[in-house]
Structure 1
Amino acid sequence: MQYRKFGNTGVSISALGFGCMRLPEVEENGTFHVDYEKSNEMLRRAAELGVNYFDTAYFYCHADSEVAVGKALKPIRDKVYISTKCPMENVHSREDYRRLLEDSLRKLDTDYIDFYHFWAINKKVFDEKIMGLSLIDEALKAKAEGKIRHISFSFHDDPSVIQYILEKAPEMETMLVQYNMLDRKNEEMIAFAASRGVGVVAMGPVGGGRLAAPTALGEKIANNASLSTYELAFRFVLGNPNISCALSGMQTLSMVEQNVAVAEQSGNLTKEDFDNMTKALEDLHKFSELYCTGCGYCQPCPKGINIPRIFADYTYYNVYGLSETAKKDFSAYENGTEDQAPGATSKDCVNCGYCERKCPQHLSIRSELKRVEEVLRSL
């Protein structure tokens, strides 16, 4: 296993982290809980293979993940690092932070948490809760008492907010952000964080499973036709020198062993290898006949058409060869899901031309939308 310096925390963590949000579960009398026998085997096997960073959260696995992680890792607690998260939606007062921390300590059956995250924050949560309720002071107090070792946050907002957070709260020591070949929007801020000594863990290295599908990307990007898209995805993330760890949600023992093997190989890339992969990705996208950068300047559409998402689905198909991913995502957008109403498409367009006037790439968006939607429906 490869180990990497984790910012200025003074510790080194495994290049592969175990994301404990998808542990196997069982149902008893309508209630779900983690299958402790299976999860014990998976978590301990990961540790045997060198994984030392285990990431859980207050509500993972029907709020049972922390219990499962605590049970499995208790015999080797001093050899591993546990990361968990404070659910900010449950924080309404300064006292709530301590209450939720104590709950997690109890569920994990441990005296301390190595990396305690403000969970899934954005600028609003940061301003109103973390700063507004003086939660940094609470975190520093818990750290002084030895209940947490490091102050962390996970992030879901515009990348520029990362700089805002780190400048306003320099006490933040590590962060967890989305990053993969298909979603590089945080790349610049990942470099900024690393330059300030903040340790960075990447979540979603295989794009939520989108990069698990077989494609010809190995040949296109790494000049290696035998390289699976899955391996390429890990290689890309771990090839970034500003990333300490790629976090993978693992569900089976075989997945643990496969991911460890892939991560061990992925950690050997040179900076030149990573730069070449990055350039190849940019060239693939650039020379697509529909070069939408996803800048979002065409938004908001007066009729609510999510133009960047539709064009992104086409890019999955046309550039990366991810036909099934493109088909499923566009279908979910167009037809809706249990959690999402159907989205507006070109049939709703009123030809106002707002999008084309704003597009820095000068795309013929209205005609392209119709063409792209037909392609996606035919997949």
Structure 2
Amino acid sequence: MIYRKLGGLEVSALGLGCMPMAGIGPAMYGKADHRESIATLERAMELGVTFFDTAEVYGPYVNEELLGQAIRGRRERLVIATKFGFRLADGKVTGVDSSPENVRRACEGSLKRLGVDTIDLYYQHRVDPDMPIEETVGAMARLVEEGKVRFLGLSEAGADNIRRAHATHPIAALQSEYSLWERGVEEDILPLCQDLGIGFVPYSPLGRGFLTGQFSKRSDLPEGDYRLNDPRYSEENFASNMVIVDAVKTIAAAHSVSPAQIALAWLLAQGDDVVPIPGSKRRATLEDSMAAVNVKLSAADLDALDAAAPRDATAGDRYGEVGMKMVRI
């Protein structure tokens, strides 16, 4: 494993997105086996992964509990990131809520479920349009003063809110979707983060599985898979988006590695402050993804990938209508 900096945090160059491990609901990529999830977390630590990403809303709650179980007695050197920002009722999301009261409530709950005294990186999961970012970040900053949080982060924030948040308290990292099939952040968000010294954490770095090459047609998705409602997996867009996968597969074959490793290596080549967090719930996929740190893409490889997946070329929105209203605010 190699290591990088997110603001003042040193982390493994690839983190582990823990969301799929809870196996709760259609948004969790299907069912997960508890023992295999724990074994996957343990194997990640063996491989030198130090950066683990979860959230209150994953499950909700059970994903943090799972991670807390796995890291018990292994806390040293690990960087634990979690998120707040949704209003929950009866286990369901009923809206966003980044009020100072909810910031504190969520933090106290996350600390307990994770079994830690301090959260290393605390993200606002989605910007609350009804709450000034200064008030939210101010409440987060008070948690830093109290020693309950070390560093602050945002997720899917727009440029103006990033600037205002960073002026209120230093922001260590921005987590937003970024991959060969979602390059929108390159226009203004990624350059802004680099100017401000904010690290960048791409989620869904494998295009929700699309870039792994495991699907050749839409019907390959299992029944009930939430991606059947993903605009980019739709009948009208699937074939067009396979052009990107074909290019990834070609370069993967030339390097004798998996398509997933090529997609992750491309992200790692975008800057030393970029730390992708591929999700996994099985050791086999974890091991494959983490091997991407050893893949070195040539200038010709990068040019070929850029040509196959230019910015804004992917067919379809990355979320449905409701999801799109919650990003880049």
Normalised to the residue count of structure 1, the TM-score between the two structures is 0.65
SS at match of 1:279: helix
Cα deviation for residue 264 of structure 1 reads 2.4
Q: What SS class does the counterpart of residue 48 from structure 2 fall into?
A: coil
What CA distance in whole angstroms lies between the structure 2 residues aligned with 1:51 and 1:92?
30
SS in 1 for 2:208: helix
Does the 8 Å CA contact 1:34/1:64 hold for their aligned counterparts? no
Counterpart of 2:109 in structure 1 is 103
1:33-74 CA distances to partner (integer Å, 9 max, x unpaired)?
975433222111101110000000002134300001011102
8 Å contact from structure 2 (residues 247, 304) kept in 1: no
Give the whole-Å Cα distance in 2 for the aligned partners of 1:92 and 1:3.
32
Output the CA distance in 2 between the equivalents of 1:219 and 1:33: 28
Aligned-residue offset at 1:221 = 5.8
Contact 1:205 1:247 survives alignment (8 Å): yes
- Cα separation, partners in 2 of 1:6 and 1:82, compared to 1, 3 Å: same
Distance 2:246 2:24 in 1: 38
**Residues in 2 aligned to 1:245 and 1:92: alpha-carbon distance in whole angstroms:** 25
- Residue 144 of structure 2 is matched in structure 1 by 143
Change (3 A) 1:168 1:25: closer
Q: CA deviation at 1:198?
A: 0.4
* Alignment-derived partner of residue 376 in structure 1: none
- In the alignment, is the contact (CA less than 8 A) between 2:4 and 2:13 conserved in 1? yes
Could you tell me how far apart the structure 2 residues matched to 1:285 and 1:54 are?
28
Residue pair 2:119, 2:149 contacting (<8 A) in 1 also = yes
In structure 2, the partner of 1:336 is none
**Do structure 1's residue 169 and structure 2's residue 193 form an aligned pair?**
no
- Determine which structure has more spread, i.e. the larger CA radius of gyration: 1
Amino acid at match of 2:162: L
What residue in structure 2 maps to residue 319 of structure 1? none
- 2:307 is the counterpart of 1:283: yes
Secondary structure of the corresponding residue to residue 232 of structure 1: helix
Which residue number in structure 2 is paired with residue 22 of structure 1? Answer: 20
Moved over 6 A (4+): none
Choose from 254, 260, 265 the match for 2:290: 260
What code does the residue aligned with 1:265 have?
N
Is residue 85 of structure 2 the alignment partner of residue 79 of structure 1? no
Identity of aligned residues (%): 28
> Which residue does 1:211 correspond to in 2?
211
Output the CA distance in 1 between the equivalents of 2:248 and 2:101.
51
| Alignment equivalent of 2:131, drawn from 101, 107, 129 | 129
Which ranges in structure 2 are unaligned for 5 or more consecutive residues? Answer: 89-96, 215-244, 322-329
For residues 131 and 16 of structure 1, the distance between their equivalents in structure 2, rounded to whole angstroms, comes to 29
Give the paired residue count.
275
Q: List runs of 5+ in structure 1 lacking aligned partners.
A: 287-292, 295-310, 314-328, 334-338, 341-379
Q: How does 1:190-209 map to 2 (within 5 A)?
A: 190-209=190-209
* 8 Å CA contact retained: 2:199, 2:273: yes
Map 1:233-312; keep pairs closer than 5 Å: 233-261=263-291, 263-266=292-295, 268-269=296-297, 273=298, 276-284=300-308, 294=312, 312=314
| AA of the residue aligned to 2:45 | A
Question: 8 Å contact 2:175–2:202 — kept in the other structure?
Answer: yes
Whole-Å separation in 2 of the counterparts to 1:223 and 1:69: 35
Are the aligned partners of 1:88 and 1:118 in contact in 2 as well (CA < 8 Å)? no
Structure 1 residue 26 displacement after superposition: 8.3
The TM-score with structure 2 as length reference comes to 0.74
Secondary structure at 1:257 match in 2: helix
List aligned pairs for 1:45-124, cutoff 5 A: 45-89=43-87, 91=97, 93-121=99-127
| 1:174–1:207 Cα change, 3 Å | same
Q: 1:149-188 residue pairs with structure 2 within 5 A?
A: 149-155=150-156, 161-162=158-159, 164-170=160-166, 171=169, 172-188=171-187
Q: Counterpart amino acid of 2:263? A: A
CA distance in 2, matches of 1:139, 1:181: 32
Larger helix share, 1 or 2: 1
How far is 1:181 from its partner?
0.9
Task: Write out per-residue CA displacement over residues 191-246 of structure 1, whole angstroms, 9 at most, x where no aligned residue.
Answer: 32022110111111111111111654257668937454222211111111154311
